[in-house]
Amino acid sequence: MSIFTGAGVAIVTPMKANGEVNYEAFAKLIEFQIANKTDAIIVCGTTGEASTLTHEEHLDCIRFCVKQVNKRIPVIAGTGSNCTNTAIYLSQEAEKAGVDGLLLVTPYYNKATQNGLYEHFKMIADSVKVPAILYNIPGRTGCGMTPETIVRLCKEVENIVGVKEASGNISQVAKIMALADGCVDLYSGNDDQIVPILSLGGKGVISVLSNIAPEQTHNICQLYFDGNVTESCKEQLRALNLIDALFCEVNPIPVKKALNLNGMEGGPLRRPLTEMEEANAARLEKAMKDYGVL
């Protein structure tokens, strides 16, 4: 059984003006998501600025999210690292906190061979009992998994159940599913490819767009699952202009700006990320108005 189907939000980590995590705002964001049909919450991922959280902050955010959600929908924790031992530690602590699953990004900077990636993910998964989703995003990590490695891990490691595919390479995604023989739960890692990935057998999306349009993103998936592919595709295409604006600067710069424009207290970014350039902010604001979320 899949950890979730539909649209899971890659939720931001809201910050106070002094740079501390704003837990009051975090609770409000979580409640907004649940009230608006989000199918899962993915905490401390790329969008959650996990790379600039201390280990203590990282785990505190996971614990807070699990407690706030209180089993109403699945919570999946980003616990990947380019250090295998660190990823094991974070994963074990997240499991203790009561998460429903883990999201494990490919090792960044030091990279790894395909054999190294296999060992890295197997060691992490073997250290816990909760299911894990691999996260393939070579554009940010400089390290990509081949379809063969992804499928091998899902077949040979019991609690590695799927992949968040954010390579943008739809041919690679198709190859994964051709090799998988049903053993890979596939999630889109790109909001502009939800319907194409669902058409290849995907279970849903781990979404940035859902931060500001949770019900609309959920509906793209649900319409598809209900057999209304034409309407699902129509909603996917209607969202493209806003999706493009949400990625006109590196994520999560635009989505935090979008939340702030909506009065939802995303707060500032931690360096090295900086506030959105004026022209791009104006573009984002217009796209939000045109889409009906501002």
Q: Does residue 234 have an active-site annotation? A: no
Is residue 137 a contact partner of residue 166, using CB atoms and an 8 Å limit? yes
- Of 37, 118, 164, 203, which residue is the catalytic one? 164
**Side chain identity, residue 27:** A
**Side chain identity, residue 191:** D
* Structure token digits, residue 230: 């034409």
Separation between Cα atoms, residue 285 and residue 290, nearest integer Å = 9
* Structure token digits, residue 267: 């707060």
Separation between Cα atoms, residue 132 and residue 142, nearest integer Å = 21
Q: Does residue 135 have an active-site annotation? A: yes
Please report how many Cα atoms fall inside a 13 Å half-sphere around the Cα of residue 261, on the Cβ side: 23
- Of 118, 135, 187, 224, which residue is the catalytic one? 135
Catalytically annotated residues: 135, 164
